[in-house]
Structure 1
Amino acid sequence: MGGPNLEVFKFGMYIMFPIATMYYYGTNLDKRFSVPDFWPKPEQTNRIPFEKEEIHSELERLKQRRLYLREKRLQNEKNEGQDS
């Protein structure tokens, strides 16, 4: 038989191996497992307007875009009708 020293060594390995593994993989996570430029920068994301003027200007912008796309669609339909 191994004796008490072997049992103490085995117990130490059983305890220290998971702790050492967690310490190794748990430190410097930002450098080790990060993908550069994975998340968009704040200026690249959508910004929700909260102020009344910002909401009105955003609604006006959406309305102008919708009207522009409608005019473009009607013009395409008119052109297709003339070609037939």
Structure 2
Amino acid sequence: MGGPNLEVFKFAMYISFPIGIMYYFGTNLDGRFKVDNFWPSQEQTYKIPFEREEIDKELARLKAKRLKIRDERLAQEARAKELAEAQGLRTQDQESS
């Protein structure tokens, strides 16, 4: 059909295409695919406490944070309950009228 020249051309393409892709993406990776400030700096990362005092301080901080979030949630639930009761009283007053 195509002859031996076509087969040689196809073989050359099968070999050169992957090599070309690997060469294009494999050279100058830092300049081509660099994203500035992608990783956090050393000062921005979390430091794991190893000393007993540091661990106790961190546990106290986490407990205070958890209790603060809990108190806010309970206060919000109480406000929602009061609002629901007020809405319920209004609807009962409207039904009885």
TM-score band by shorter chain is 0.5 to 0.7
Greater C-alpha radius of gyration: 2
Structure 2 residue 55 is matched with structure 1 residue 55: yes
Question: Cα distance, 1:74 vs. partner?
Answer: 0.6
Rounded to whole Å, the distance in 2 between the matches of 1:54 and 1:60 is: 10
Matched, 1:39 2:39: yes
Deviation at 1:29, TM superposition (A): 4.9
1:65 equivalent in structure 2: 65
Unaligned runs of 5+ in 2: 1-22, 85-97
Q: Distance in 1 between matches of 2:78 and 2:32?
A: 58
Task: Please give the TM-score of this superposition, normalised by the length of structure 1.
Answer: 0.61
Which whole-Å deviations, capped at 9, do the CAs of 1:6-58 have from their partners, x for residues lacking one? xxxxxxxxxxxxxxx6xx92xx6544542221211011111111111110000
Instruction: Provide the secondary structure at the position in 2 that maps to 1:49.
Output: coil
Q: 2: CA distance between counterparts of 1:60 and 1:83?
A: 34
The AA in structure 1 aligned to 2:45 is: T
Whole-Å separation in 2 of the counterparts to 1:34 and 1:70: 42
Higher relative contact order (CA 8 A, sep 6+): 1
CA distance in 1 between partners of 2:77 and 2:70 (Å): 10
Q: Distance in 2 between matches of 1:76 and 1:33?
A: 47
For residues 75 and 37 of structure 1, the distance between their equivalents in structure 2, rounded to whole angstroms, comes to 40
Distance in 2 (alpha carbons) for counterparts of 1:52 and 1:31: 45
Percent of aligned pairs with the same amino acid: 50
The CA RMSD over aligned residues, in Å, is 2.4
